[in-house]
């Protein structure tokens, strides 16, 4: 196996990972405080400066007053209250631009200095393009809530979340490559089945996280505050027949989306346990076994937080913690995949 590489590059990539995590969790804060539609324009350069004078604030507030969110939900909002949600969204956008620059500027330097070889830079270039695309996707999401209804498209919100986590996963993978190396082990054939199971774990985890995005976009977390029963039943009547054809309920009906999200979590747990026993029976190295145990433990913690979010009707702190644990699960799953492929 190749040895560890440049520590400066590793620290840079981990720093980028950290800020992506902050961005995702702060994005949850922006959503839960209904701040995301406060900035009705997307100006990459000029938009970096917030309103300064009272006239500037009045002008920005006047534009917001033309949006469906103000007309339908926030008709009594004062300028002071508007400033609060504006600064939430402003900080989120500036943090996104800062994180993008934190990635792109050092990347150019490392490529120019030869500390990252051009022939090995494909993953770095993909991440850079991903940052550019994520900025546009963020505005594409926001713009969907400025036309007719006071909410963004739940599809676009989910896409924005999944692409952010994909950026995080790629950056974390690049960091692991730099720390541990990326040479294939000689006994790689013995890990064929566990490697497939580890990939499957990431797939089911991303499905569950995607459903979390749909829950957020549809505000489906408020559909029920009881668990394990929902509407007094383990399987509520007609939950998948509100919309025709039936399969659209899986992605468009808040009660159905809520129901799938609460129970699909156990599919993630089953796959995590299965992977652990595969690793244990094949006597894999300690990092893989330890990571598998952590995966199981964190899934159980995540399910517990998910239940409390339901019981307490989506309180802000619990909801953001739930989101943060989901990110941790993804990072553990990526670590397991990397170690299975390259340990």
How do residues 202-242 score in pLDDT, each as one tens digit? 999 999 999 999 999 999 999 999 999 999 999 998 899 99
Nearest to 208 by CA among 254, 257, 138: 257
Please indicate, yes or no, whether residues 225 and 126 belong to a single structural domain of this protein. no
Can you tell me the mean pLDDT for 154-177? 97
Please indicate, yes or no, whether residues 205 and 176 belong to a single structural domain of this protein. no
More confident residue, 159 or 186: 159
Residue identified by tokens 């713009």 is 143
* Percent helix / strand / coil, the chain, rounded to 5: 75, 0, 25
CA 185, 189, 192: angle at the middle one, nearest 5? 110
Please indicate, yes or no, whether residues 99 and 190 belong to a single structural domain of this protein. no
Percentage of the chain lying above the pLDDT 70 cut:
95
Can you tell me the mean pLDDT for 279-296? 88
Tokens of 338: 């990397």
pLDDT of residue 294: 96
Nearest to 288 by CA among 338, 336, 334: 336
Count of domains forming the chain: 2
CA 131, 134, 138, 139 torsion-angle sign: positive
Tokens of 200: 């499957």
pLDDT category, 48, cuts 50, 70, 90? confident
Can you tell me the mean pLDDT for 7-36? 96
pLDDT of residue 189: 64
pLDDT category, 3, cuts 50, 70, 90? very low
Can you tell me the mean pLDDT for 69-98? 96
pLDDT of residue 187: 61
pLDDT of residue 221: 95
Domain residues for 162? 1-183
Residue 202 CB coordination number (10 Å): 17
Residues 167 and 160: beta-carbon distance below 8 Å: no
Domain boundary residue among 139, 158, 183? 183
pLDDT of residue 186: 62
> What phi and psi values does residue 38 have, to the nearest 5 degrees?
-75, -30
Please indicate, yes or no, whether residues 126 and 243 belong to a single structural domain of this protein. no
Please indicate, yes or no, whether residues 67 and 216 belong to a single structural domain of this protein. no
Please indicate, yes or no, whether residues 164 and 271 belong to a single structural domain of this protein. no
Nearest to 272 by CA among 190, 200, 168: 200
pTM: predicted TM-score of the whole model, two decimal places = 0.93
pLDDT of residue 190: 67
pLDDT of residue 285: 78
Residue identified by tokens 């009705």 is 40
Please indicate, yes or no, whether residues 177 and 248 belong to a single structural domain of this protein. no
249-286 pLDDT tens trace: 999 999 999 999 999 999 999 999 999 999 888 878 78
Please indicate, yes or no, whether residues 178 and 283 belong to a single structural domain of this protein. no
Helix (H) or strand (E) holding 155: helix 154-180
pLDDT of residue 1: 37
Residue identified by tokens 């609060």 is 84
Domain boundary residue among 125, 149, 183? 183
Please indicate, yes or no, whether residues 99 and 223 belong to a single structural domain of this protein. no
Determine which of 115-119, 180-184, 296-300 has the lowest per-residue pLDDT on average.
180-184
Residues 194 and 280: beta-carbon distance below 8 Å: no
Please indicate, yes or no, whether residues 290 and 206 belong to a single structural domain of this protein. yes
Nearest to 161 by CA among 152, 150, 149: 152
Please indicate, yes or no, whether residues 142 and 202 belong to a single structural domain of this protein. no
Is a pLDDT exceeding 90 seen at residue 94? Answer: yes
Neighbouring-strand partners of residue 233: 230
Tokens of 76: 């009594």
CA 87, 42, 24: angle at the middle one, nearest 5? 55
How does DSSP classify residue 101?
A: H
Task: Write the Ramachandran bin of 48: left for phi over 0, alpha for psi from -120 to 50, otherwise beta.
Answer: alpha
Neighbouring C-alpha atoms within 13 Å toward the C-beta of 47: 19
Can you tell me the mean pLDDT for 53-63? 96
Nearest to 329 by CA among 299, 309, 304: 299
pLDDT of residue 4: 46
pLDDT category, 188, cuts 50, 70, 90? low
Domain boundary residue among 137, 156, 183? 183
Can you tell me the mean pLDDT for 64-90? 96
pLDDT of residue 2: 37
Please indicate, yes or no, whether residues 39 and 172 belong to a single structural domain of this protein. yes
């Amino acid at each position: 196996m190749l040895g560890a590489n440049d520590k400066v590059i590793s620290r840079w990539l981990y720093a980028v990972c950290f800020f992506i995590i902050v961005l995702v969790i702060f994005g949850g804060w922006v959503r839960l405080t209904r701040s995301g539609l406060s900035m009705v324009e997307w100006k990459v350069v000029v938009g970096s400066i917030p309103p300064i004078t009272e006239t500037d604030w009045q002008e920005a507030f006047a534009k917001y007053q033309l949006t469906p969110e103000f007309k339908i939900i926030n008709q009594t909002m004062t300028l002071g209250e508007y400033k609060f949600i504006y600064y939430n969204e402003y900080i989120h956008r500036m943090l996104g631009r800062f994180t993008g620059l934190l990635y792109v500027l050092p990347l150019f330097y490392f490529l120019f200095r030869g500390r990252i070889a051009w022939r090995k830079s494909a993953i770095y270039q993909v991440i850079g393009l991903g940052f550019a695309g994520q900025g546009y996707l963020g505005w594409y999401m926001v713009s969907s809530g400025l036309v007719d209804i006071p909410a963004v498209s739940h599809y676009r919100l989910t896409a924005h979340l999944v692409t952010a986590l994909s950026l995080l996963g790629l950056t974390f993978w690049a960091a692991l490559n730099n720390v541990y190396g990326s040479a294939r082990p000689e006994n790689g054939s013995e890990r064929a089945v566990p490697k497939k199971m580890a990939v499957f774990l990431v797939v089911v985890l991303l499905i569950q996280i995607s459903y979390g995005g749909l829950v957020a976009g549809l505000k489906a977390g408020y559909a029920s505050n009881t668990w394990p029963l929902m509407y007094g039943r383990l399987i509520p009547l007609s939950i998948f027949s509100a919309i025709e054809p039936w399969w659209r309920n899986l992605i468009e009906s808040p009660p159905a989306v809520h129901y799938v999200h609460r129970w699909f979590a156990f599919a993630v747990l089953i796959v995590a346990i299965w992977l652990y026993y595969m690793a244990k029976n094949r006597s894999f190295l300690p990092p893989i076994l330890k990571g598998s145990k952590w995966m199981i433990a964190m899934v159980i913690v995540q399910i517990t937080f998910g239940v409390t979010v339901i019981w307490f009707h989506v309180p802000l702190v619990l909801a953001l913690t739930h989101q943060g644990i989901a990110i941790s699960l993804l990072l553990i799953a990526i670590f397991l995949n990397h170690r299975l492929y390259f340990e």
